Every structure is written in structure tokens, then in C-alpha cells.
A and B are shown apart, each in its own frame.
Chain A
């Protein structure tokens, strides 16, 4: 039996025809699990509790219970008064010639029964779910045991990874993985600027490797399956990427591969065009150009799936009747509880799940939408900035004067519903202040501000000691702070400040000096993390001065801080 589990994996490495194999053993086990069989009481006991039906037997003892259950056979169950705790009830279930007794709870307010974590609307479902668990956990014990060992599941072979392989690749996923592979030399040339991230992922990878080796040696002579999958991994560090590429490429229709190559070509174009710009202010430096590299953890939530569902991580069926596993609210990844703990933070959010532009997390949005001309910057910002720079840089009071409220709402709604075929047309809104207001509204709608809550104090600390430090020192400290922001936030801040720097360059005409821009924009870029502080208006005003200074310096010293 154990060999059959390993088969699909080894097959996909060798034969190259199989892309995804859902493993159905656990599903078949669930199908074969015994059905609940209520043992009905012959004589209705006095004062039966309203929440139980004829399977309630009243104050019968354990011996009588076991007799009744044995007579009824596999899957039989009944409810009786608890012998030790008067006023409470016991659920007894017959499974595999054994009688199991559980303390049965009931919440009359919501009408839910439970013995463990999961809650059910009726006892019969509870027993059915329990029988599935007994059955899967006994008949499928060897599968579950193998699953519990990390090495048994290779993430790079998981359905999530393979199914999204081309998406991932077009977003630079391959580059991300490249440092993991010893054969990543060619990729590392393209990647030369990405030292920071590479080092991180390398570290992560080394840790994982070490873990794997430790486990492998601990397990020693575990099952043959385990050994083979471990050994197939460790010598070929390049395996994850190389294997998937070689096994998939023949199977992929030509349209797909041209698509992928077209998009990677676009990335290159972009890089070279910004290099033509020649400035050191280039936003698309290699380290930040792949939004695919931005790590985002899955946002898992315990979910009750309707119909059969399989785990995107280990490929096995998610058994049980309710709360079978976890689903990521941003990308739909679904997994067993145990598997969810082991999935790397490689969430690829999809607008199908994220659903809106305004009010979504910055990193989530950047990863969920097609890449923009400047990687890591949400399309809505890019479009507003383009529009403003094309016709509004000389508008007096830009970012200070408000736009038409109704038009702002129209544009916000349009961005939330925007599709590739139906892009938002900003040019039909005459007033450039309306566009500027949309941009500000987007930044204000972020659940985590561009300068994150985590970094708020650090940024403010820089300008608090302003008196002692020279401008050069201040810039260096700010630079350090900026580099500590998460990549999407760092890119967006960089992009915004570059734009604001351009706005301020025309302050003679538009009257918006860095200081003026900072006064207006500081509350949208920085927000204090502590709630008690917001309640104190005196401290708000006090900190507002430093918030303004931070933003003013980011704009006026853009060239040094972001160089």
C-alpha cells in the first residue's frame, strides 16, 4: 500500500505526462466509512431532553449500553445519562468491535452538539463525522503517518505549485527559486542585483535543508517510501525547478509557452528601458522588480467545504463532514490543518478572492493584479500619477485642493471593477484635483499605511534627533528605515516620493513645496500604531510635526534617500 502513495510523485518525475495527481485513497476510505446507526430505545425514558430523539435511552449503565451496541453492530450509537455526572449526557459509539464513550455537549442557544472541536446541528452528523475520522485514521494510518513526516510532501510537487507554475514563473518565481538550485548560475546573472533577497531565501533554504537532513537521519530506516523520497531530494538540490520544468514543458500547449516567454520578454524590455533612463533613481532595480518575490503568507481560515475537496499541499482528500480543513481567503489555497502549518508563505492572491482595490492590503493587491510598469506599485497609483504628471503638475494647490466628491466615488468604484478589457479612463475627468484626491483616498484606504505601523516609531525617531545629526546622517538613517519596509511598501513609497519630488520641483507654479506636500500628505502616509495615542489630541498634534518632517525629507531628499 505504501508504495502506491509514492508512485504518482516518482511517476511525474520520470514519465513527464502526469501534471497533477490527486490522491484518492482517503476519499475512498471516507466513502467506505460506516454510516451512523441509531439504537432506538424500546421504552421511552422519563423526561427525555428536547434536543435528543429516540436514540436517547435515559439512565442505562455501561454494561447494558455495550450489549445494545454490540447487537446493532458497526456504526451503532446511542445517548444515555452520564453515570458520573448527573444532568449530563454520554454518547456511545460502536466501531471495530469497540465501544467508545464521549461526553456530549449541547448549546441550546445555537442548537449545536459537540464532543470535540467541531460543532454539529444534529447528533447523527456528529456521529457520521466521527465514524469517518475513526475509519480514515485506522484504515489510512499508513498514509497519515507518511504525511506527518515533512519529507513525504515536496512542496514543489504540490498541486498549488505545479498548477500555478506558469503564473509563478511569469512573475519571476523561477528566479526566486533559482538561488536554491546549484544550477542557478545562469539565472543568477539576471539576478545580480538581488543580493538581499537571495541571501534571505538562501538562508531559509539552508534551514530547510538542515531540517530535512536531520529528519532523514532521525527517521533512519523508516519506510522505504520515505527513504526514497528523501534521497531523491537531497543529492539534487536543483530538483524542484529542474524537475518541474522538464516534466511540464512537453505537456504545455504552445500558446502557453509563448505567453510565458512574451511576458518574460516584457520584463526585460522594462529593465532595459529604465536603464536607458540612466539615472540611479531607477525603480526597477532587479532586487524589487519581481512582485512574485514579495513574500505573503496565506491567510488561512477554518472552512467547511461542500462536496469533496483535496489538499493543495499533500494532494490527499480532506476527510470529514464539516471543518475539513483550511482555505486561504486571498488565493483559495486549501489544505489539511497540519498541511496548512507547513505551507511556505507563497500566497498568490487572486482578485477573484481579494475582490477590491480600495481597502485591500498593499502587498496582497500588488501580487493579485497583473504586473505594472513599475513593479511593486499598485496599478491605481500608477495610473493616477501618470495622469497627474501628464497634465496636472502646474495646477495650483495640487494635493491640497479637493476634487469633486461624486467623481472620486465614480473613479474608486471603476477601479474596484476594472478589467483588462475595460480600463478606467481618467482623462475624461477634467479636474486634476479629482485624480489627486483618488490617489490620496487610495493611500488612506490601506489597512496598513505605506509607512507601516511597525516602522512608524523608527521613522519618527530619525527626525526627533534632527538637531544633533547632519543632513547626510539623517538621510542615511532614513535610507536605512526605507530599506526595512516590506518590498511592496518600499517600492510604493519610492514611487510616490519620486512623483512628489517632481511636483515640488515646480513649486513656483503649483505652490506646493515639499513642506506643503508633507503637511497635506503626512496623515495619509504615516499613521501611529497605538490607539491610546489617537485618543489624545495633544499628542496627535505633537507627533504631526514629526510626521510632516519625515515626509518632507523623503520628498526633498528623494535623490539621496532612495538612490
Chain B
């Protein structure tokens, strides 16, 4: 069964990005393996795939988990070119990770040469309420700024540890992508609005 599904459905390439140590791998592993891994190995690059039904439609996700450290920025543009949808992760306990979100989103627009693109922003580690330093409103505000010109952008709070919203964040990203593709967004290049026609 799964074989026939995987043949009939084209995989969706999802790229998970964000600053170092914010929980990108934890989210990805919780989603794909339903486990919270306690080890603390920095990622260079890992990929996972998972098939699931989203809104009664089969989806095969190829998830690329990336390195957050600035040392690896040289690889960033390369995998960004491959991605069809992006999950931008920050930790609500870490201001620097949040500060990087905006520049990462800008980089996606630039690499993709699009003004709009399916992007989910995930505020992770909300189980650590005591250490929280990024308010929900602050993150909402940031995403709303992007939503003005990118309707395929949304914010959600997650906890990889308690599995809160983990499935939802990936499913919503697929929904955004489907919406984007339905509107023919992939063909709409940045600055393509011709004023003459």
C-alpha cells in the first residue's frame, strides 16, 4: 500500500531552518519518529521522510533538517534552493534565535526570488514557561508584518518535548503549500507585476 502511495504522490521537500540549539532536530524527530531525543548533537544535515494523510489527501514529506550554526551558512543557500516549504524555528527562551527569524525569511525570498512563499514560523520550547523571554504577541507581530505581502506565512507555538502542536505545524505547512500551489504561486515570480498590462 505504502509503495503504491509513494509512487503516486510526489514528495514535498520541507526545509527546517533556524538558529543553533533552538530545537529543529527535536521537532523533526518528534514528528517523524514520535520520540523526544535527549541527545544534544548539533546537526550538520539530516533528512527524514514521512507519509501521512492531511485533509484526506496523502502527502509524502521529505524533511531536511539543517545546521543552525553560522559556520554552515555556506550550505544554506544550496538547500534553500531545493525547498518547497520552510519551517523557521526559534526558541521562546532565546532572544538571538528570534532575532534571526526575520533575516532567514528574507533570505528565503531572495534565494527563491519570490515575494511570497509557504513559511511556518514555530516558537519552540514553550514547555519551558519559566525561561520564556519571547512573548507570543511579539512573534505574532513579526509574522503579521510578513503576512501583509506573504499570505502563506503563519505562526504557531510548539513544544517538541510535550509534542504540543508538532503534527499541526507540519500539517499546516503542507496546507499552506497546497494553497500556494493552487493559486499558481509557484509561477509568480517576484516583481512580475507588469504595470503596462
Contact = CB atoms under 8 A, between A and B. Distances in A.
A511 B39 CA distance: 9
Contacts of B40: 397, 511-513, 516
Contacts of B21: 397, 400-401
Interface stretch (B50-58, B92-100, B145-153): B92-100
A537 B75 contact: yes
A298 B72 CA distance: 34
Interface in A515-534: 515-516, 519-521, 523-524, 534
Contacts of B94: 401
Contact of B42 (A400, A403, A524): A400
A453 interface: no
A433 interface: yes
Given A519-B42, A520-B42, A402 B20 contact: yes
A353 interface: no
Given A511-B40, A519-B44, A541-B44, A402 B75 contact: no
Interface string A376-419: 00000000000000000000010011111100000000000000
Contact of A403 (B41, B75, B96): B96
Contacts of B100: 402, 405
Contact of B71 (A403, A433, A444, A512): A444
Given A397-B20, A401-B94, A402-B19, A520 B41 contact: no
B41 A541 contact: no
Interface band, chain B: 20 to 34
A346 interface: no
A544 B74 CA distance: 13
Contacts of B68: 402
A540 interface: yes
Nearest to A541: B45
A440 interface: yes
Contacts of B96: 401-405, 431, 433
Contacts of B192: none
Contact of A402 (B44, B45, B97): B97
Nearest to A525: B71
Nearest to B69: A520
Q: Chain A interface residue count: which class?
A: 20 to 34
B70 interface: yes
Contacts, number: 58
A405 B145 CA distance: 22
A403 B99 CA distance: 11
Contacts of A519: 41-42, 44
B20 A440 contact: no
Given A397-B20, A400-B21, A402-B20, A524 B71 contact: yes
B94 to A, nearest CB: 7
Interface string B68-89: 1111101100100000000000
Given A405-B99, A440-B71, A544 B20 contact: no
A512 B69 CA distance: 14
Contact of A516 (B42, B74, B75, B95): B42
A513 B20 CA distance: 16
A404 B70 CA distance: 12
Contacts of B42: 400, 516, 519-520
B5 to A, nearest CB: 29
A541 B45 CA distance: 9
Interface string A178-189: 000000000000
Contacts of A402: 19-20, 68-70, 96-97, 100
A400 B69 contact: yes
A193 B94 CA distance: 49
A515 B20 contact: no
Given A402-B69, A402-B100, A405-B96, 17 more contacts: A401-B19, A401-B20, A401-B96, A402-B19, A402-B97, A440-B70, A511-B40, A512-B40, A516-B40, A519-B41, A519-B42, A520-B69, A520-B71, A534-B74, A537-B78, A541-B45, A544-B44
27 contacts: A397-B21, A400-B20, A400-B42, A400-B69, A401-B21, A401-B94, A401-B96, A402-B19, A402-B68, A402-B70, A402-B97, A402-B100, A403-B96, A404-B96, A405-B96, A431-B96, A437-B70, A444-B71, A511-B40, A513-B40, A515-B41, A516-B42, A523-B72, A524-B71, A534-B74, A541-B44, A541-B45
Interface of A: 397, 400-405, 431, 433, 437, 440, 444, 511-513, 515-516, 519-521, 523-524, 534, 537, 540-541, 544
Interface of B: 19-21, 40-42, 44-45, 68-72, 74-75, 78, 94-97, 99-100
In order of increasing CB-CB distance, the 3 nearest A-B pairs are A511-B40, A523-B71, A397-B21
